Amino acid sequence: MKIALASDHAGFELKERIKEFLTDHQVIDFGPVNLDSMDYPDTGFKSAEAVSNGDCERGILICGSGLGMSIVANKVPGIRAALCQTKQFAELSRRHNDSNILILSGRFISEYLAKEIMDVWFNTEFEGGRHQKRLDKISDYEKEK
């Protein structure tokens, strides 16, 4: 699977550490390349657009709290980004919402928990059914705007 990966300076260290977990995937790293202060929209929009336009199948975005990247990613049409701080949230984000971008918090979860969350997120399938109807409503709204 081709994965768009990005962070801001606050998520940089976690981004670099979780690359080791993503060795079964082709990772496109949208930056940053160091700890220098930068603005999360600069990397967040580029990576979310790569998922939206089909260049990448899914994405993982990391900032300090996860909130900024969540806001940025969900502005891009076709993106269903989910801020997950537990394995249960990761599972539900895939089963019920077919999330295509996982948002992680660089300052509030450990590397170990991030890897567990990613494992659940990558290995949980979308249930469809009644949940698809809801996603269709979101998609229809995006098309109207």
CA neighbor of 113 nearest in space, from 62, 72, 71, 70: 62
> What is the pLDDT at residue 93?
98
Q: Which residue in 9, 25, 96, 131 is the catalytic one?
A: 96
25 is catalytic: no
pTM, full prediction: 0.96
56 is catalytic: no
Handedness of CA 35, 29, 40, 98 (dihedral sign): negative
Q: Which residue in 56, 63, 84, 131 is the catalytic one?
A: 63
**Domain limits of the chain?**
2-144
pLDDT in tens, 74-94: 999 999 999 999 999 999 999
- The CATH number of the structural domain formed by 2-144 is 3.40.1400.10
